[in-house]
Amino acid sequence: MEKIVIPPLADATDISDISVMTEITEKPVTLTPAIRRFILHWGDMGQTWGVSRSVAQIHALLFVAARPMNAEEIADALMLARSNVSTSIRDLTNWGLARRAPMFGDRRDFFEADGDVWEMASKIVAIRKAREIDPAAEVLKSCLEDAAHDPAAAPEAVRRLTEMKALIDLLNNWYEQMNRVPKSQLLPLIKLGSKAVELLSPFLKKKDGRQ
């Protein structure tokens, strides 16, 4: 919130000395018990994704905060070291999960998270795919190629590796296709749920050769 402070005038001859200053009044961020539980749980989830607890907690805090926060506020709210906060914020901004939000009249860096849940989820999925699925797919591809050219490799092992690679390729292709669909079209489709399967079932049966 901005408050304009104008120094009082001594007399009319002082009008050329008038200066207008912008004062930023910050409302402290209140962490209720429910919000604390959310931040702690998000931190635990982050660790299962291969992300440090502090990075995930800072993201959760920025996500629920009503306004942008600076590093000092984040460190105080989560009781983290200032250096830890700086490193974590750098990671979040590099991943697109947080961004700078300049505040008029304040030289400090303020940060905020994207409040769009869909965008946040899409970015997290993309990060996990790049960090986990893509490397695993490359290893699987290499293993399959080596096994297929190794006379000592059991045919059953080669067959199963081939099926696994085909499944991962199918899921990757599906992800890429869905990622290109605008949110305005994709969300209604997702909300259909099982109804989408019912609508497509005649086509699927026909494709399988069943009447």
Residue 117: predicted pLDDT = 87
Residue 200: predicted pLDDT = 67
The arithmetic mean of pLDDT across residues 132-155, rounded, is 94
Q: Is 198 within a domain?
A: no
Same domain assignment for residues 103 and 137 = no
Confidence band of 203 (pLDDT split at 50, 70, 90): low
Same domain assignment for residues 142 and 170 = yes
Same domain assignment for residues 95 and 167 = no
In whole angstroms, give the CA distance from residue 134 to residue 128.
Answer: 9
Same domain assignment for residues 49 and 107 = yes
The arithmetic mean of pLDDT across residues 77-93, rounded, is 95
Q: Is 202 within a domain?
A: no
Residue 205: predicted pLDDT = 61
Same domain assignment for residues 137 and 165 = yes
Position 167 pLDDT exceeds 50: yes
The residue behind tokens 């299962």 is 48
Same domain assignment for residues 86 and 134 = no
- Proportion of the chain above pLDDT 90, given as a percent: 50
More confident residue, 1 or 63: 63
**34 three-class SS:** helix
Query: Sign of torsion, CA 202 206 209 211?
Result: positive
Same domain assignment for residues 63 and 104 = yes
- Proportion of the chain above pLDDT 70, given as a percent: 78
Q: How many domains does the chain have?
A: 2
- Residue where one domain finishes, among candidates 92, 114, 136: 114
Q: Is 125 within a domain?
A: yes
Same domain assignment for residues 153 and 80 = no
The H or E element that residue 194 is part of is: helix 194-207
| Domain CATH code at residue 58 | 1.10.10.10
Q: What is the mean pLDDT of the chain?
A: 81
Same domain assignment for residues 40 and 105 = yes
Q: Is 208 within a domain?
A: no
Q: Is 81 within a domain?
A: yes
- Residue where one domain finishes, among candidates 63, 90, 114: 114
| Domain housing 169 | 118-186
Residue 115: predicted pLDDT = 82
Q: Is 24 within a domain?
A: no
Same domain assignment for residues 61 and 97 = yes
- Residue where one domain finishes, among candidates 114, 141, 170: 114
Q: Is 133 within a domain?
A: yes
* Burial readout 24-38 (b: 16 or more C-beta within 10 A, e: otherwise): eeeeebebeeeeeeb
More confident residue, 189 or 173: 173
Among 13-22, 105-114, 158-167, top mean pLDDT goes to 158-167
Q: Is 73 within a domain?
A: yes
pLDDT (tens digit per residue) in 24-54? 445 667 789 999 999 999 999 988 888 899 9
What amino acid is encoded at 109 in this protein?
D
Position 145 pLDDT exceeds 90: yes
Same domain assignment for residues 130 and 176 = yes
Q: 141 to each of 97, 136, 155, how far by Cα in Å?
A: 31, 9, 16
Same domain assignment for residues 99 and 126 = no
